[in-house]
Homo-oligomer: A and B are copies of this chain.
Amino acid sequence: MAEDKKKVEAITDMSVDFAQWYTDVVLKAELIDYTSVKGCMVIKPQGYAIWELIQKQLDAEFKKTGVENVYLPMFIPESLLQKEKDHVEGFAPEVAWVTHGGLEPLQERLCVRPTSETLFCDFYANEIHSYRDLPKVYNQWCSVVRWEKTTRPFLRSREFLWQEGHTAHATAEDAEARTIQMLNVYADFCENVLAIPVIKGRKTDKEKFAGAVATYTIEALMHDGKALQSGTSHNFGDGFAKAFGIQYASKENKMEYVHQTSWGMTTRLIGAIIMVHGDNSGLVLPPRVAPTQVMIIPIQQKKEGVLDKAFELKDRLSNFRVKVDDTDKSPGWKFSEQEMRGIPIRIEIGPRDIENNKAIIARRDTGEKIEINLDNLETEVATVLDKIQVEMLERARAHREEHTYSATTYEEFLDILENKPGFVKAMWCGEEECENKIKEDASATSRCMPFEQEKLSDKCVCCGKPAKAMVYWGKAY
């Protein structure tokens, strides 16, 4: 039992050391394990099941908008990667190179895809000939590799899982509309499924994707006041199309270049769930991505009828993801484990409850205990799960609002960045020099120029020149 106790012992307090708290939760909730391959992780069943729920629900949203799934090779010939200049400059320093196949050296090096714009372009150049071939709205679920120097589970690893959508359109307007459409799909998904509120906006040129005309982003605020870029959607204009020769014959039989987009979300979202919702007892999962939504824990389970009743309740809750913990561990241990794993609802049922036709529902997110009449089990569980889903989003939004500041002077701006973790809204002149100075002075970056602009002043918070946009600034993962 020594081993058992170890599992539920207190994790690091998040207010003492947030980074260590994060690592503790990731390991003790059994989401990942480290591996012999530096910077790569094993995603364990508890972690992968969250990803499966993300995939399933996000994929369904994609398909509603006409997305079709495909699979492209994991290798990119070096010559292909080099076709678009900005793109290769952005990615070449962080790719893994395959130089040998079997016992022979390759004639040309292949990189393991860090992202697949170049492969999709090569593919589209073969596929697209006429306006009737457009649009192409393809997506793939796969893993990608970026040779990062410092890594953290889910947040930054050398290999990670993601989806990458790549589209081709007849006009610039169609491409822009798809870019924004997918950003909205991402934002709605974060809010409705992950209970994570996000700021939608546009990246500055300094922060945009290598090769993009415009990058749009959704930015979330973690519990420690740091920002996490949670999904991006890029409009490429016709830059890649020109580099790869992707042309179509228009209705007027003129050759035109296509306009392209790409958009991606990753296993990083699991890191976001942990850091937005988790607490000092471990993970807290929103019901819609909880692999187990209800854990039934029998009390005095050796007494006749208790286990039978527990399984009877499970059967009645077949519309939900439910388990019974009938192991021979103590109820206290089981409570701790269920809390560590972030299971939204615990149902406690013992001999006295059975006698009174009652049970206790304990909410993971608030700790609230609710006595219910067993006749109403199904509706009570449905109601509480819905309530948890809604209130988790509300709490996360309230936390973000409390940690979002405005600054109009540089002193105020730096003071907030140093002393008040969170987002800082401030005006910006549009020059990269100011972004560089702010990074140097305060280790903060421009997170985005939000779609919902406010005019806080006329002047750039940094240089005092006329302002062009309001920007969300922050320290970021």
Residues of A within 8 A of B (CB): 3, 33, 35-37, 40-45, 48-49, 51-52, 68-77, 80, 93-103, 110, 112, 119, 122-123, 126-127, 129-130, 138, 142-143, 145, 147, 158-159, 161
Assess A73 versus B35: contact at CB under 8 Å? Given A3-B130, A97-B98.
Answer: yes
Residue of B nearest to A67 (CB): B45
Q: A36-B77, A102-B95 are in contact. Are A72 and B110 (CB under 8 A)?
A: no
Point out the residues of chain B lying under 8 angstroms from A161, CB to CB. Answer: 71
Q: A45-B68, A75-B96, A112-B112 are in contact. List 19 more A-B contacts (CB 8 A).
A: A3-B129, A33-B126, A35-B72, A35-B73, A35-B123, A36-B122, A37-B77, A41-B73, A44-B70, A49-B68, A73-B159, A74-B143, A75-B159, A93-B102, A95-B102, A96-B101, A96-B102, A97-B101, A98-B99
Chain B residue with Cβ nearest A148? B102
A330 smallest CB distance to B (angstroms): 15
CB atoms of B69 and A52 under 8 A apart: yes
CB contacts (< 8 Å) of A112 on chain B: these are: 74, 98, 112
Chain B residue at minimum C-beta to C-beta distance from A142: B143
B142 touches A73 (CB 8 A): no
Contact partner of A97 (CB less than 8 A), chosen from B100, B127, B143, is B100
User: Do residues B102 and A72 form an inter-chain contact, with CB atoms below 8 A?
Assistant: no
The residue on B at minimum CB distance from A136 is B45
Q: How far does the Cβ of A466 sit from chain B's closest Cβ, in whole Å?
A: 40
Top 5 A-B pairs, shortest CB-CB distance:
A40-B73, A45-B68, A101-B147, A97-B100, A43-B71
With A69-B48, A122-B35, A130-B3 given, is the CB distance from A147 to B77 under 8 Å?
A: no
Which B residue's beta carbon lies closest to that of A43?
B71
Copies of this chain present in the complex amount to 2
The distance in angstroms between the C-alpha atoms of A95 and B106, with both chains bound, is 12
| Chain B residues, CB < 8 A from A129 | 3
B123 touches A33 (CB 8 A): yes
Which B residues touch A68, using CB under 8 A? 45, 48-49
User: A158 contacts which chain B residues (CB < 8 A)?
Assistant: 101
Name the contact of A103 in the complex, choosing from B45, B73, B93 (C-beta under 8 A). B93
CA distance A49 to B67 in the complex (A): 12
Given contacts A74-B145, A101-B96, A103-B93, contact A45 B69 (CB under 8 A): yes
Residues of chain B with a CB closer than 8 A to A119's CB = 35
- Beta-carbon nearest neighbor of A73 in chain B: B40
